[in-house]
Amino acid sequence: MLTLERFSFGVGDRFAHQARAQLRAFQMLAARGVEVVPVWNKSNREHTFIGSEPQSVRTAAEAAVVALGWTGSWHVDADHIRIETVDRFLPSSDFFTIDVADSIGRPAPSAEVEAFIAKHPELVGSLSIAGVATPFRTTADDIRRVAGKYLLAVREAGRIHRHIAERKGGEGNFIAEVSMDETDAPQTPPELLVVLVLLADEGVRAQTIAPKFTGRFNKGVDYVGDLARFEREFDDDLAVIAHAVARYGLPSNLKLSVHSGSDKFSLYPIIRRALARSGAGLHIKTAGTTWLEELIGLAESEGEGLALAKEIYRQALEHVEELSAPYASVIDIDRGQLPSAATVDGWQGGQFARALRHIPGQPEFNPSFRQLLHVSFKLAAKKGRTYLGLLEANEEIVAKNVTENIYERHMVPLFLGRTVG
């Protein structure tokens, strides 16, 4: 039975050149006594934009594992797959993020909703859950509404889960995550409970679940929202999961997966406290920003690397609308804050790096500049060998940035509890 450990951390490597630099961060953390399992994830959308194949993720990860002598577990996540996109990930992935967000809210047959309510009278009324301050109070109508909203999404998760299990030789041969984060409305803790009961009934042996949390999770920048409210909901979600595991027989290692969109630094102390209090596990995806560290490293290399970084920015400025469109709900670019191409052309590498590197409070850091470049990786992909050649020529400075970013800005505050500027 393939079982995910207590702590796992998803990294993305769009151009398949940084797996070693990423893995080094996990080794540094292990040397400090905290074992966190690396999971390399890449979605179908990213593969399509880059023109890569799923096997390339496993190949790069495997090479890094061998090169660094990593003896712990590691996984390759088919990120945000659906029934129509899962097949080409089957040979190379052992972790599947089953995305059913599109089926949320599709009206479910009322007979099936009523059958669910009849089977679970315990969900109606006052429900005390260990660790939740105020008991949930629900009416049959509340459960009817929530079950009606999520029932078909859970059925779809079941269909995809069975599809994978048949082709992987059984459900013990892969790790399943169910993701519901790419949708409009967050799931409240009582809604999460109903979803978990639906999943248990459907026989989906999920080891991680990714709800949509309250607040905004923009790509590559910090959380925007009410921190106190996030903390309450996160704590209640952990309690709900523990309850659902005990009561409904879900896998005992089931844990929350935070699709962070990278760099939710202000949430890290909250998450750290919650995990320490509850003993719960965590899977966190911070996938997108390794590519920005590549750009930072190229800029710092001055010369050709900096010239290419500037050229990518110039092209990004010319195509702000089309580059942003697929990410409209997860970026907030203030056009007035974007420096002109001429301005950036006059920058030294260090200045480009300081505008891009995410150090909150550092006066030159520019979140709009960062978000635009974050969604502009397609432009680097178009450069093909030129881009990859520069990564290779400047491997040392790029790798240093990749490792430091993951270790200092993510792992240290999450797992060691020290904030780093």
- Nearer to Zn ion by Cβ, of 143 and 192: the residue is 192
| 177 interacts with Zn ion by CB under 5 A | no
- Nearer to Zn ion by Cβ, of 171 and 181: the residue is 181
| 42 interacts with Zn ion by CB under 5 A | no
- Nearer to Zn ion by Cβ, of 99 and 191: the residue is 99
Task: Write the binding mask 334 to 363 for Zn ion: x where contact by CB under 5 A, - elsewhere.
Answer: ------------------------------
DSSP structure class, residue 412: I
3-class DSSP assignment, residue 267: helix
- Nearer to Zn ion by Cβ, of 81 and 143: the residue is 81
* Tokens describing residue 119: 């089977």
Q: How many CA atoms lie within 13 A of 50 on its CB side?
A: 22
Closest residue by Cα to residue 314 from 349, 341, 295: 341
Cα 339 to Cα 7, 176, 306, 345, 364: the distances in Å are 40, 43, 16, 10, 12
In angstroms, give the least distance from the CB of 8 to Zn ion. Answer: 15
Q: Which long-range contacts (CB under 8 A, 24 or more apart) does 165-169 make?
A: 167/87, 167/90, 168/90, 168/94
In angstroms, give the least distance from the CB of 210 to Zn ion. Answer: 6
- Residue listed under structure tokens 């996984």: 75
* Tokens describing residue 67: 């090169």
* Integer Cα distance of 215 and 230 in angstroms: 8
- Nearer to Zn ion by Cβ, of 281 and 288: the residue is 288
Stretch that binds Zn ion, among 83-91, 105-113, 240-248, 259-267 (CB under 5 A): 259-267
* Integer Cα distance of 135 and 127 in angstroms: 5
DSSP structure class, residue 212: P
Task: Write the binding mask 385 to 404 for Zn ion: x where contact by CB under 5 A, - elsewhere.
Answer: --------------------
- Nearer to Zn ion by Cβ, of 100 and 398: the residue is 100
- Nearer to Zn ion by Cβ, of 116 and 213: the residue is 213
In angstroms, give the least distance from the CB of 285 to Zn ion. Answer: 7
- Nearer to Zn ion by Cβ, of 61 and 209: the residue is 209
* Binds Zn ion by CB under 5 A, chosen from 13, 46, 181, 202: 181
DSSP structure class, residue 67: H
Judging by DSSP bridges, how do beta strands 206-210 and 255-259 pair with one another?
Answer: parallel
Question: CA triplet 193, 194, 198: central angle to 5 degrees?
Answer: 120
Instruction: Please name the residues in contact with 316: beta carbons below 8 A apart, sequence gap of 6 or more.
Output: 323, 372, 373, 376, 379
Stretch that binds Zn ion, among 26-34, 236-244, 255-263, 347-355 (CB under 5 A): 255-263
In angstroms, give the least distance from the CB of 68 to Zn ion. Answer: 28
* Region 78-137 residues binding Zn ion, contact defined as CB under 5 A: none
- Nearer to Zn ion by Cβ, of 154 and 178: the residue is 178
In angstroms, give the least distance from the CB of 59 to Zn ion. Answer: 24
| 259 interacts with Zn ion by CB under 5 A | yes
- Nearer to Zn ion by Cβ, of 20 and 259: the residue is 259
In angstroms, give the least distance from the CB of 181 to Zn ion. Answer: 4
**Number of residues binding to Zn ion, judged by CB under 5 A:** 2
In sequence order, what DSSP letters do the residues of 330-368 get, joined into one string? G----GGGSPPHHHHHT--HHHHHHHHS--TT-TT--HH
Amino acid at 118: A
Task: Write the binding mask 285 to 304 for Zn ion: x where contact by CB under 5 A, - elsewhere.
Answer: --------------------
Stretch that binds Zn ion, among 19-27, 87-95, 177-185, 211-219 (CB under 5 A): 177-185
In angstroms, give the least distance from the CB of 191 to Zn ion. Answer: 17
User: In 208-267, where does DSSP find H-type helix?
Assistant: 227-248
CB-based closest residue to Zn ion: 259
* Integer Cα distance of 264 and 256 in angstroms: 16
Stretch that binds Zn ion, among 29-37, 254-262, 266-274, 312-320 (CB under 5 A): 254-262
- Per DSSP (E only), the strands in 20-132 are 37-43, 75-81, 95-99, 125-127
DSSP structure class, residue 294: H
Binding site for Zn ion (CB under 5 A): 181, 259
